[in-house]
Amino acid sequence: MRLQYPTNINIIRVPCTGKVDIIHILRAFEKGADGVYAVGCLEGDCHFNTGNLRARKRVEQAAKILDTIGIGGQRVQMRNLSSGEGPLFVEYAKEMVELIRELGPNPLKKAKAEIKKRENAA
Amino acid sequence: MIVADKKPIEEIVQEIEDVKSLLIAGCNECVTVCEAGGKKEVGILASALRMYYLNKGKDVKVDEVTLERQCDHEYLEEIRDMVERYDAIVSIACGVGIQFVAEQYPKMRVYPGVDTCFMGATEKRGLWVERCQGCGQCVLAKTGTVCPITRCAKRIMNGPCGGSTKGMCEISQEIECAWQLIIDRLAALGRLDEYEKLFPIKDWSTDRAGGPRKVVREDLQQ
């Protein structure tokens, strides 16, 4: 297919989205990610039965935490597709990039820079 | 085990807005099993708090530790060297552990990071149910191993009361009538004659009515 998807997405491979835990999502934001989305198999099609359903729940929990601490829960999303849906993968990637562009960069980056500036001045 | 539930982060941060360094202390026992205060939850809370402070432009050090148990002096001693480096500790062990941390380190500000709920069991993942209230005088031998103190809203000893309808309690359609369960189980065991016997008045002094309780075992003390 040779489809192009936005280059600012860093793919982290996991054996199943069921492997993704809340802490992995939170750490990504701590390290400066502007957004995170988990792309799992279609619901009902998980090879391990419930991996993608668990991932969805964890994504929802991570979103709740991010909302509470002022980072914004919308920055974390769950998407489902089958392995044969390359074009849909590209569509989701573009959608995600657009959503994050609207939301702006991870506020922690700005905060970190300000703290550093303050430290340098002092 | 002791069942606890996560405290909302909003509630935790109210108490620790002013700190410069913070230690999140988890416990490897009951709260790990009920997924409220184990190593995993320590990591999540610490990560969330680090981001919370950073987002507010504050440079706060948030570290993590998970003890084997927080309700034993021996395990609490293990962190003696490190606690001095922090302004406060958020303990996500049960209420017992949280208090023991504070007793062990009297000059330390210690805050709870969970709401401790009850003594219970894991019905299934994500569902914990109360089974014992620690009344100090077990009656299970006489009640077909169903506890009327815990599972009956009125804690009555000779039930059921008039509020039992089709096996459910009058306070909620989701709560089973403890005395219906007792009768069903005694019937299944062929021991309904036990049900005929009246319970004498229960001595509540071994329950909370007698104030905070102790178990003293001189044979074990050194």
* pLDDT on residue A67: 96
Below-70 pLDDT ranges, chain B: none
Please report, for chain B, the start and end positions of each structural domain, with discontinuous segments joined by +: 2-118, 136-204
* pLDDT on residue B192: 95
Please report, for chain A, the start and end positions of each structural domain, with discontinuous segments joined by +: 17-121
- Interface contact flag, A26 B56, Cβ < 8 Å: no
Q: Which residue of chain B comes nearest to A24, CA vs CA?
A: B44
* pLDDT on residue A119: 87
pLDDT at A42 exceeding the cut of 90: yes
* pLDDT on residue B210: 83
Q: Which residue, A41, A61, A60, A62, is CA-closest to A52?
A: A41
C-alpha distance from B122 to closest chain A C-alpha (Å): 19
* pLDDT on residue A1: 78
Of B8, B40, B54, the CB nearest to A111: B54
| Contacts of residue A61, Cβ cutoff 8 Å, sequence gap at least 6 | A22
pLDDT at A122 exceeding the cut of 90: no
- Alpha-carbon B52 to chain mean position: 28
Rounded mean pLDDT of A77-84? 95
C-alpha distance from A7 to closest chain B C-alpha (Å): 26
* 3-state helix vs strand vs coil in chain B, percent to 5: 35, 25, 40
* Higher pLDDT, residue B115 or A118: B115
- Which residues 41-80 on chain B approach chain A with CB closer than 8 angstroms? 43-44, 47-52, 54-57, 59
Of A21, A108, A114, the CB nearest to B51: A108
Specify whether domain B2-118 bears CATH 3.40.50.2300.
yes
C-alpha distance from A8 to closest chain B C-alpha (Å): 23
Rounded mean pLDDT of A96-100? 96
Q: Which residue of chain A comes nearest to B50, CA vs CA?
A: A30
For an interface test with B, give the residue of A25, A26, A50, A76 to mutate (most B CBs within 10 A): A26
> What confidence tens digit (pLDDT) does each residue in B115-135 have?
999 999 999 999 999 999 999
- The DSSP H or E segment spanning A89 is helix A86-103
Long-range contacts (CB closer than 8 Å, 24 or more residues apart) made by A15-19: A16/A40, A16/A46, A16/A47, A16/A48, A16/A51, A16/A52, A17/A41, A17/A51, A17/A52, A17/A54, A17/A55, A17/A78, A18/A46, A18/A48, A18/A50, A18/A51, A18/A52, A18/A54, A18/A55, A19/A51
Share of chain A above pLDDT 70, in %: 100
Q: Which residue of chain A comes nearest to B41, CA vs CA?
A: A23
- Interface contact flag, A23 B47, Cβ < 8 Å: yes
